[in-house]
Structure 1
Amino acid sequence: MNKILNREISKPSYIGSYSIDDVIFLLKDISDCVKEKDTKYREKAIQSGRHYSEMLPIEYKPSSEYIDLFYMSLKESAKKLAIAVGVVSEKIIKNRGLNIVITSLARAGTPVGILIKRYIYFKYKIDIPHYSISIIRGKGIDENAICYIMKNHPDKEIQFIDGWTGKGAITKVLTESCEKFKQKYGIDLNDDLAVLADPGYCISTFGTREDFLIPSACLNSTVSGLVSRTVHRSDLIGEKDFHGAKYYKELKEEDLSNLFIDTICEQFKSVLDKIDKELNAVNDINIHPTWEGWKNIQEIQKEFDIEDINLIKPGIGETTRVLLRRIPWKILVKEESDSNLKHILILAKEKKVPIEKYTKMTYKCCGLIKSLRGDI
């Protein structure tokens, strides 16, 4: 612990449009240091070996049809989301108790962390600290952020939170990061990751395993506190710094982040009995990870002759990301008439991406990124 107590760490930048009562971002504000790159430039760079965390995509400007769909999906799914929040919150309390620090993984985990914090206060009248920190595939978790939390809350345990699972890459990165942290500091971190939805069957603490539309996946920063995805570049991030992020203050008028949170929280009182019922149902199933989703991905890789498995992004959340900030090759859907896929179909139409029916997966859809190997 002395290593952590003696470690020099920069102070938080206090960025984002959420109240600090809801979350504190342990991120360095690099708003004036990074210029977004267009999708084709980024895709070529990533597929040529440059790390995705060294660049930011241009934020997608949604059409009026797409925004209308966000509002509609939020209205239709609010109760379902509130139930999933309640279920995962209760499972966290059962597993870990209330002496915890909610530590969400920016940026998809941030709104979910806020919802869990709000639910626990609603139900138990206990105000749990909540921080949002960076974790990056290929680079690991932000050690400075973890040390900051441990220095400020030495008597509490960290509970990691994310939005959903895809093929389980972040789950693996988190486990590896916790192992490295123990080797370096001699301290055990519990790598249990709690999510709203686990369609990949790769974790145990979840609200549901259904691959359903979480409206916060529909938009980028405007439903995630106006914060970009996290950035890590040696010329921007020093030894004492947290990983970086951009704060899109110019999108203040378009920000729906707090509307999303408040809409779900309004449902808590009316779904308490449904949360109990769902918890009982979850207790009757095998919650242990089977990694069924990973098996699906391997089959897709083989069937579609995809050389790099990182070009396969399964599940509604990940498919949405492919359409918003990558160059899609095609979208696989289990059932095109599924109401959860309306925004996927709109984006695919806007970007002229072909849709193909594919039923042999636990996920409702899967985004396949176009290989640019021949163009590089």
Structure 2
Amino acid sequence: MEQGSLYTAELMQPIKMGSYPAEDVTFLLKEISGLMEETNTEDREELIQAGTHYSEMLPVEYQPSAEYISLFHQALQTTARKVALASGVVAESILARKGKGVVLASLARAGTPIGVLIRRYLRQIHQLDTPHYSISIIRGKGIDENALRYILEHHQGKGIQFVDGWTGKGAITSVLHESISRFNQKFHTRLDADLAVLADPGHCVQTFGTREDFLIPSACLNSTVSGLISRTVHRDDLIAAGEFHGAKFYREWADEDVSNLFVNTISAYFTDIADEAKVKAAELISHEDDHVPTWKGMRDIGRIQQELQIDDVNLIKPGVGETTRVLLRRVPWKILVDSVENPNLAHIIMLAKDRGVLVEERSDMSYSCCGIIRSMGGEKQ
């Protein structure tokens, strides 16, 4: 296949989506608002475990209580500087490794706020106008190749840096590597599959801000902290050959949206943390051999799977971010925590209590917590 085949097929053009300022991010997604309805949590869980692909449905978005929203704001104030520092470390690492001509491609949707933060850091501290796109990647289906082709067509000669919020078991890391390998072979490109995250408790990426499993407050909420964008969708009856993966734009929740509050609160610390971020990034890069991915987290998950006699490893979701997702949009069986007194887990303890989910303390994990999805029978996904 010739290199020019990257650009021969007709691609759709992006539209303005989401609640972020246009300069912060371009969503390479097809808006499917009005084209599909959400599926309630119990029905969706049964369908997923019976073999229906998760990307062919959307969950009903959790509507948090006033108490929970208050906890989000408290967590944001408490962790803002720490999140800013991790963002700065990642941004400095990207700049050192890939130079000023890089394009950011955040993985919708948890990666989107982080991509916005990294772009803002590079602009604020280094006066760089770094392009930032948010694109879809789906376990079992791969990355949106049309979105990648769009980026390459509009930024020829530039490298792409993929961005996400955190790692759990490393499933998306694996999907990204497989997808980029396939894309490179198909189109004769040389894209780098490196994934940059703020927190890498799973020890499965090279570019990270920290490997501590700490609370990134954007994990506490769904669309209302991610530009009012839903999870991404790929269904053949909704997405044509040349189109981007789909997502809903929840305009009706504009009054509850805290997407810009989140990034504004954190980016206010960038000047304060910039020098420290540069030092930490330089230290990480100079000792890269000490930080190679070991996938340590997967070994812990294997032990938990065996001890709890869980047939499908996909029912185990480790780390603060993934455990939060279990409580917000899956049917949880139990939650494992390193300590019920861990301040990073206050929102998880609250959500578990709200949903009547058992919380057990366990001190032998790489992660501070782990969410276990209830088996509904026939776990295929």
Q: Which residue of 1 aligns with 2:321?
A: 317
Q: Which residue of 2 aligns with 1:105?
A: 107
Of 156, 164, 167, the residue aligned with 1:165 is 167
User: Gaps (5+ residues) in structure 1?
Assistant: none
Q: Residues 37-62 of structure 1: CA distance to partner in whole angstroms, max 9, x if unpaired?
A: 10000000000000000000011110
Q: Distance in 1 between matches of 2:24 and 2:202?
A: 28
Of 139, 144, 147, the residue aligned with 1:145 is 147
Q: Distance in 1 between matches of 2:157 and 2:379?
A: 53
The code of the aligned residue for 2:147 comes to: A
Q: Which residue of 2 aligns with 1:31?
A: 33
1:260 matches 2:262? yes
Q: Which residue of 2 aligns with 1:352?
A: 356
Q: Which residue of 2 aligns with 1:78?
A: 80
Q: Distance in 2 between matches of 1:348 and 1:162?
A: 25
The alignment partner of 1:373 has SS state of: coil
Of 324, 327, 330, the residue aligned with 1:326 is 330
CA drift of 1:36 comes to 0.4
CA drift of 1:182 comes to 1.5
Q: Residues 143-201 of structure 1: CA distance to partner in whole angstroms, max 9, x if unpaired?
A: 00000001111121111000000000000000000111122111111000000000000
Of 335, 338, 357, the residue aligned with 2:342 is 338
1:365 matches 2:369? yes
Q: Which residue of 2 aligns with 1:7?
A: 9
The code of the aligned residue for 1:302 comes to: Q
The code of the aligned residue for 1:256 comes to: V
Q: Distance in 2 between matches of 1:168 and 1:138?
A: 14
Answer with 228-237 or 271-280: which moved more: 271-280
Q: Residues 284-309 of structure 1: CA distance to partner in whole angstroms, max 9, x if unpaired?
A: 57110011001011111001000000
Q: Distance in 1 between matches of 2:296 and 2:366?
A: 7
The code of the aligned residue for 1:17 comes to: S
Q: Distance in 1 between matches of 2:366 and 2:282?
A: 23
Q: Which residue of 2 aligns with 1:91?
A: 93
**Aligned-residue RMSD, C-alpha:** 1.3
Output the TM-score relative to the length of structure 1.
0.98
Q: 1:153 to 1:375 in 2, by over 3 A?
A: closer
Q: How does 1:209-288 map to 2 (within 5 A)?
A: 209-279=211-281, 282=284, 283-284=286-287, 286-288=290-292
Q: 1:254 to 1:179 in 2, by over 3 A?
A: same
Aligned length: 376
Percent identity, aligned pairs only, is: 56
Q: Distance in 2 between matches of 1:177 and 1:374?
A: 27
Q: 1:375 to 1:52 in 2, by over 3 A?
A: closer
Output the TM-score relative to the length of structure 2.
0.97
Q: 1:146 to 1:15 in 2, by over 3 A?
A: same
The alignment partner of 1:105 has SS state of: strand
CA drift of 1:358 comes to 1.1
CA drift of 1:274 comes to 2.6
